[in-house]
Amino acid sequence: MSNADSGSAWPWLGNAKEENDAIPRATATVLVIAIAALSFFSLCRRRNHLTSPLPPGPRGVPFFGYLPFLGTNLHRKFAELAETYGPIYKLRLGSKLYVVVNSPSLAKEIVRDQDMTFANRDPNIAGAIASYGARDIAFSSQGPYWRNLRKLFVQQLMSNMSLDACYGLRRQEVRKALSDLYRKRGLPVDIGELALLILVNMVMGMLWGGTLQGEKGEAVASEFREVVAKLMVLLGSPNVSDFFPALAWLDLQGVERDMKRVHQWLDGFIQPIIDCATKGTTSGPFKQKEGEPKCIEQKKDFLQIFLDMEINLEDNQSPVDKNVALKAILMDVVIGGTDTTSTMVEWVMAELLQNRNVMNKVIHELTEVVGEDEMVEEHHLPKLKYLDAVIKEAFRLHPALPLLVPRTPNASCVVGGYMIPKGSNVFLNMGSIHRDPKIWDEPLEFRPERFLEGPSKYDFSGNNFAYMPFGSGRRICAGLALAERMLPYVLASLLHSFKWEIPLGSELDLLDKFGIVVKKMKPLVAIPRPRLSTPELYMSR
């Protein structure tokens, strides 16, 4: 009688009749033990969920929770609450639960140990409108749709090969801006506006080869800046409709109405680009320059690749219109990529103008590495170690997204011994971690040298949980590779070509205002004075 017949508990285990069956039998034993262990751990985890308490947090008032006390400067409020409630706390806002994490070790539990569970988003009403109903990369939750879009984006557009091929275009936009600045030398310049124009043109050129040109182009860029600034504020502002979904139809603060207006303007900005790619016509503010370098020579530009691609665009089993998916990605790139980067150009310049000794060291390094008879090229960037430390220090004190983009666990889980319920909104408070005196010596001082001491200790890869200006894990910034090229290139070029001064009688401060991207409260205005050896250099393309 076989073991199977003998009523063994695992009959299929006893079916190995020959010696050769020893291996499958061993494998099966290991499998059974593994399954048993997993079930045991999963049971323990489930029991943990049931027994672990929710994180501590302020009480608030019935029905509204902490909402009446939140204020508008969320990043400041969150930092303040961390001092009372410690590394993890909860806030009940209306019917929703928010969890704020303020320590590197707990951030690690989220973005490394339980990254899969936390790699989801639950966009607020403003975010859902801005992203065509969470059809973009930033706001869609993980699943085949998000994976396909992100893979296409990172592999096609952000690969080293594609970015190398587009260098000519980035260079052309920077050179054009420098010669325009030369003509305006001695006059006050709004740094954020200047940086945004350069960046929008760089990104637009990469996407499809068109840029904003002439006075009309500048006017559109300036309107774009206003609209995007408004969008960032709307994305970050507490909205009653999000906290009380039953009241959403009332749109009490008008956030939905305002966001729809902003979105309509941006949709009108993006649609002509798609028309150009699909029909070969353009009616918008962009011009394609004849005879000038087109991105990725001998290759189609990004839009064309996307349009030609057979890509699975199903989201939760319902097909997504390709035009909508494309517009949603463009929105990520055009807004996510340009506003963040230009905001950082402004913060770095503001810190340098405030700390003249640091500025002098940057200029000295540029003179040594590039020389006064040459313009900056991208190949100089790896040698600009001090500038790199300056940028990292600016990201520490002024991370463009101090709360990253909130994550939502798709199952209840335990972090730091506390239960985080499925569907809650989790903020990683990097703004606070970056200024934590337990981690950083003299945290409020602008001291780039701290990044020179162990340059490999801090980078933007999200592996050091005390320093993550681009996030970490599966949802780390998808445009990091491009940001790492554009930001230092624009900064090095502006600083090498001109000496910058604050206009007489104006005062420089470093106050910020909250939005999902945190900007300088007062735009930075400075005067450029040429510092290169000959005027011809400024005209070279």
Smallest separation (angstroms) from ligand HEM to the CB of 37: 31
Of 531, 485, 502, 470, nearest to 174 by C-alpha is 485
CB of 90 to ligand HEM, least distance (A): 20
In the block, residue with structure tokens 């335990």:
414
Beta strands in 248-378 (DSSP E): 286-288, 314-315, 318-319
92 DSSP assignment: E
- Strand-pair category, 525-530 with 498-501: antiparallel
Pick from 107, 137, 233, 277: which binds ligand HEM (CB under 6 A)?
Answer: 137
Residue 428 vs 526, nearer CB to ligand HEM: 428
Alpha-carbon gap, residue 275 to 261, rounded angstroms:
21
Helix (H) or strand (E) holding 5: none
Tokens of 193: 């506006």
Rounded CA gap, 513 and 338, in Å? 18
Answer for which of 92, 108, 150, 485 binds ligand HEM (CB under 6 A) is 150
Chain residues 64-83 in contact with ligand HEM, contact rule CB under 6 A: none
Member of 404, 516, 518, 537 binding ligand HEM (CB under 6 A): 404
Query: Is 470 near ligand HEM (CB under 6 A)?
Result: yes
Q: Considering the rule CB under 6 A, would residue 405 count as an interface residue with ligand HEM?
A: yes
Distance CA 138, CA 536 (A): 43
Query: According to the binding rule CB under 6 A, does residue 476 interact with ligand HEM?
Result: yes
Cα angle 344, 348, 354; round to 5: 145
Please tell me the distance from the alpha carbon of residue 352 to that of residue 370, in angstroms, as a whole number: 19
**Closest CB to ligand HEM among residues 149, 527:** 149
Q: Is 464 exposed, middle or buried (0-12, 13-18, 19+ CB in 10 A)?
A: middle
Question: Residues 484-513 vs ligand HEM: string with x where CB under 6 A?
Answer: ---x--------------------------
Q: Which of 178, 400, 524, 532 binds ligand HEM (CB under 6 A)?
A: 400
- Give min distance, CB of 339 to ligand HEM, in A: 9
Nearest residue (CB) to ligand HEM, 339 versus 365: 339
From the list 149, 142, 254, 180, the residue with the least C-alpha distance to 498 is 180
Number of residues that bind ligand HEM (CB under 6 A): 26
We find the least distance from the C-beta atom of residue 395 to ligand HEM, in angstroms, to be 7
CB of 137 to ligand HEM, least distance (A): 4
Q: Which is nearer to ligand HEM, 196 or 537 (CB)?
A: 196
- Per-residue interface string for the shown chain with ligand HEM, residues 314-353, x marking contact by CB under 6 A: ------------------xx--xx--xx--x---------
Choosing from 104, 409, 479, 515, the residue that interacts with ligand HEM (CB under 6 A) is 479
CB 383 within 8 A of CB 369: yes
In angstroms, rounded to a whole number, what is the distance separating the alpha carbons of residues 85 and 64?
Answer: 20
* Residues from 435 through 454 that contact ligand HEM (CB under 6 A): none
Nearer to ligand HEM, 57 or 127 (CB): 127
Q: Is 90 helix (H, G, I), strand (E, B) or coil?
A: strand
User: Of residues 212, 325, 394, 482, which one binds ligand HEM by CB under 6 A?
Assistant: 482
Q: Which residues contact 413 (CB under 8 A, 6 or more apart)?
A: 45, 49, 114, 117, 419, 420
Compute the least distance from the CB of residue 169 to ligand HEM, in Å: 14
| 138 interacts with ligand HEM by CB under 6 A | yes
300 three-class SS:
coil
In the bound state with ligand HEM, the residue whose beta carbon lies nearer, of 277 and 482, is 482
Torsion angle in degrees (nearest 10) through CA of 328, 333, 339, 345: 170
Task: Give the position of tokens 């260098």.
Answer: 167
Q: CB-based burial of residue 84 (10 Å sphere; 0-12 exposed, 13-18 middle, 19+ buried)?
A: exposed
Helix, strand and coil in the chain, % to nearest 5: 55, 10, 35
Q: Does 469 bind ligand HEM (CB under 6 A)?
A: yes
Please check if 477 is assigned to a binding site. yes
Closer CB to ligand HEM, 13 or 476, in the complex: 476
Q: How far is the CB of 157 from ligand HEM (least distance, A)?
A: 7
Could you say whether residue 475 binds ligand HEM (CB under 6 A)? yes
CB closer to ligand HEM out of 481 and 502: 481
**Which residues does the annotation place in the binding site?**
477
User: In the complex, which residues of this chain contact ligand HEM (CB under 6 A)?
Assistant: 137-138, 150, 332-333, 336-337, 340-341, 344, 400-401, 404-405, 469-472, 475-479, 482-483, 487
